[in-house]
Amino acid sequence: MIEADLVKEAVRQRKARSETFLGFEYLRFSDDFKDVPRGTVIFQDTIVWGYPHIGRVFMLEEGLKEQFSGPFWVEEKVDGYNVRIFRVKDQVVALSRGGYVCPFTTDRVGDFIDLDVFEDDPDLVLCAEVAGPENPYIEESPPFVKEDIRIFVFDVMRKNSREFLSQREKLELIDRYSLPHVEIFGEFTHADIPKLKDLLFRMNEEGREGVVFKEERGRRAKYITSYANLSDIKVTTKNMFQLPAEYYTNRLLRLVLFMEEEGIERNAHLYEELGKALIDGLFEAIDQFKKEHRVYTTFRCRFHRKENAIALLELIRRTSKHIQVIERDLREEKGMWVLTFDKVFLNMTGLLGHLLSGGLVFD
Amino acid sequence: MIEADLVKEAVRQRKARSETFLGFEYLRFSDDFKDVPRGTVIFQDTIVWGYPHIGRVFMLEEGLKEQFSGPFWVEEKVDGYNVRIFRVKDQVVALSRGGYVCPFTTDRVGDFIDLDVFEDDPDLVLCAEVAGPENPYIEESPPFVKEDIRIFVFDVMRKNSREFLSQREKLELIDRYSLPHVEIFGEFTHADIPKLKDLLFRMNEEGREGVVFKEERGRRAKYITSYANLSDIKVTTKNMFQLPAEYYTNRLLRLVLFMEEEGIERNAHLYEELGKALIDGLFEAIDQFKKEHRVYTTFRCRFHRKENAIALLELIRRTSKHIQVIERDLREEKGMWVLTFDKVFLNMTGLLGHLLSGGLVFD
């Protein structure tokens, strides 16, 4: 439950806002407010709690020893975007981390998830990562999704509760409905740390993002490979001044601590990869600006229903700051609607416009 | 003149503060306030104006065309710290950019500057860069100062005036008193841009910081080599989280735009240099922390008078945030007092302490 007074206060402070979807209204917490996490939504009398923040450890061995006293599960952290999937009336919808109903994920969820799971238990909320090269939000994609998208369940909640099902309850549900899920490496203890170091070393080599540690029910922590940090840097530099600059310095430190933990030597190849990751995007932005007078990235994704493609563009337009959305193409292909659109980075476009024409900067 | 009311208001808002030096008080503007720049000081009835901000162009050719209509002088920008040197009563002192009397520079100024200049014209204020491996403030040093420090005059003001002397007046003064000065490449016009590109290309190869463009009297702009940007990154990463993160992202962009302007190709060597510059300092910080439980850099500088060495430590202690100053050694050597001290980076020390012991971070 969330107290009615708290909801009123959140609305008054513009931390909770009204949204509409499929003709009915819901309330969305646009920021953390008191103990209610951002992305929490209220559909009439139903609350779907926001997915909580998970703390990060920068050192594997010391982190596990410090954060977990008993056994813990280790699961893959997939590099995609976080959704919560559940049923409203007779429709299954997917919420973004921020609490918007995502027209793209909602359109595609039935391709990956056996929706019977919600027939049998309409209170379920599946927490999942959506990842792949054809998603409308992020440019990174894990090495094991070669086309389109896939959905990977990693947690289960229930409506009106902020607790997760225990690991065993979740595994049972995954098994019963053959739900697609993140790789679950098993349950481990401190004695297994050398094994886990090997695992993370391998994941890093394979270009995978990292892992989440979870008690059967309780504490969690995440740990990320240096590959993922490098990749985060690489895919964002074309629009470097949109993100907080700490995005980059934090990832440099994480990368260094991962190498330190895994005993990975610094060598010319690594330095080169890092240098490339940091500046190639800037050169690309300049080239693009010189040719086309704007800096942008093209996204492509597939829908069953044309209306959902249009609704997605509308959502991105409404929610992205300093981004101009330009539709390039929306056409039927092999029974799907294929949407192609550009996100124009207005900050980088404006900055390069000023600097390349000889503008002065006081810094 | 600065209106008395403005001074009172600045003091009330804590933008101007009282300081003491040599037994008399002065007022120091610790921030820009209305049109008074940070570092402006008032000694009784004498104002020494703060050195103004100089805008930066990111593109040489377009920048010169946009910022200057007629001829302009080109002078070297030396990589050191900015001081203003002038006489108070019968002592010549040097103010830091922020308006503190610097005990180190004040102690050494007579070694480099013919103080007769102030006998003949007690109203002069020499604006100069102090640079070299043995300075107490910055770790960078230009390639042409191999030991100790040197002082390079680049502008001249007068007490109670915020105007600079014209370029010709300055050159005359430099000549008459053989003042040490930054290299002055001459007066140029837009037609000389190809020559200036060559000059900057060479300066970059030689590891020099860049240039300042100045009208005979009036507009100014600065332009920095990619070498200098790389060097700024390299020498600061050991204490990366002390600086605003934008320090790094801004320098990446400048570096890329310099290469773009100069037609410098990206290659493995450059990427490697950049990768190294960004992470070697972090590895060094970790190594140091593991061995000594603190992250620090050692500085060394020479004084004539022991009291000035002690006053410098006191000043750095009082004015550096998140820095602990530890004196290592102060001894007489060949007629000079040689001070060695550590700056302990408390932010980095604390952060690594938390992370290396397995601490959790929510980001």
DSSP-derived 3-state class of residue B312: helix
Which pLDDT tens digit goes with each residue over A118-167? 999 999 999 999 999 999 999 999 999 999 999 999 999 999 999 999 99
From chain B, the residues in CB contact with A250 under 8 A are 363
Report the distance separating Cα B182 and Cα B167, nearest Å.
Answer: 13
**B332 interfaces chain A, CB cutoff of 8 Å:** no
A259-274 pLDDT, tens per residue? 999 999 999 999 999 9
DSSP H helices in A79-125: 103-108, 116-120
B251 chain-A contacts, CB cut-off 8 A: none
Domains of chain B: 53-223 (3.30.470.30), 225-278 (3.30.70.2160), 293-356 (3.30.70.2160)
- Per CB-CB distance under 8 Å, the chain B contacts of A53 are 362
Residue A1 is predicted with a pLDDT of 79
- Res. B314: pLDDT tops 90: yes
Q: Does A347 touch chain B (CB under 8 A)?
A: no
Interface of A with B in 158-197 (CB under 8 A): none
Q: Rounded mean pLDDT of B229-242?
A: 95
Cross-chain CB nearest to A362 (options B55, B246, B362) = B55
| Chain B residues lying within 8 Å of A56, measured CB to CB | 360-363
pLDDT at residue number B64: 97
Question: What is the average pLDDT score of chain B?
Answer: 95
Per CB-CB distance under 8 Å, the chain A contacts of B261 are none
CB pairs under 8 A between A and B: 170
Q: What is the tens place of the pLDDT at every residue in B123-167?
A: 999 999 999 999 999 999 999 999 999 999 999 999 999 999 999
Least CB–CB distance from B358: residue in A63, A250, A270? A63
Q: DSSP code of A206?
A: T
State the Cα angle at B64 between B63 and B69, rounded to 5°.
130
Q: What is the mean pLDDT of residues B32-56?
A: 95
pLDDT at A352 over 90: yes
Q: CA B224 → CA A338, B59, B153, B203, B251, distances in Å?
A: 47, 10, 19, 10, 10
Residue B301, classed as helix, strand or coil, is strand
> What pLDDT does B1 receive?
79
Residue of chain B nearest A240, judged by CA positions? B249
Whether residue A342 is predicted with pLDDT greater than 90 in this model: the reply is yes
A22 has a pLDDT exceeding 90: no
Cβ under 8 Å to A: B residues 223-242: 237, 240-241
Structure token pair of residue A152: 């990977």
A263 touches chain B (CB under 8 A): no
The pTM of this model reads: 0.92
A66 and B361 within 8 Å at the Cβ level: the answer is no
Runs of H (alpha helix) within A131-266: 167-176, 193-205, 226-236, 246-262
Q: Assign A213 to helix, strand or coil.
A: strand
Q: From the CA of B358, how many Å to the nearest CA of chain A? A: 4
What is d(CA B321, CA B8) in angstroms, rounded to the nearest whole number?
A: 27
Mutate to test the interface with A, among B72, B262, B271 (most CBs of A within 10 A): B271
**Among the partner residues A55, A56, A245, nearest to B249 by beta-carbon distance:** A245
For residue B308, the model assigns a pLDDT of 96
State the pLDDT confidence band at B24, using cuts at 50, 70 and 90: confident
pLDDT of residue A89: 87
- B window 46-105, beta carbon within 8 A of A: 53, 55-59, 61-67
Which residue on chain B is closest to A54 by alpha carbon? B362
Which of A222, A250, A252 would you mutate first to test chain B, the one with the most B CBs within 10 A? A252
* Residue B359 reports pLDDT greater than 80: yes
DSSP character for B306? H
Overall average pLDDT of the A92-109 stretch: 96
Q: How far is CA B33 from CA A142, B47, B99, in A?
A: 52, 15, 14
Closest CA to A50 of A97, A102, A4: A97
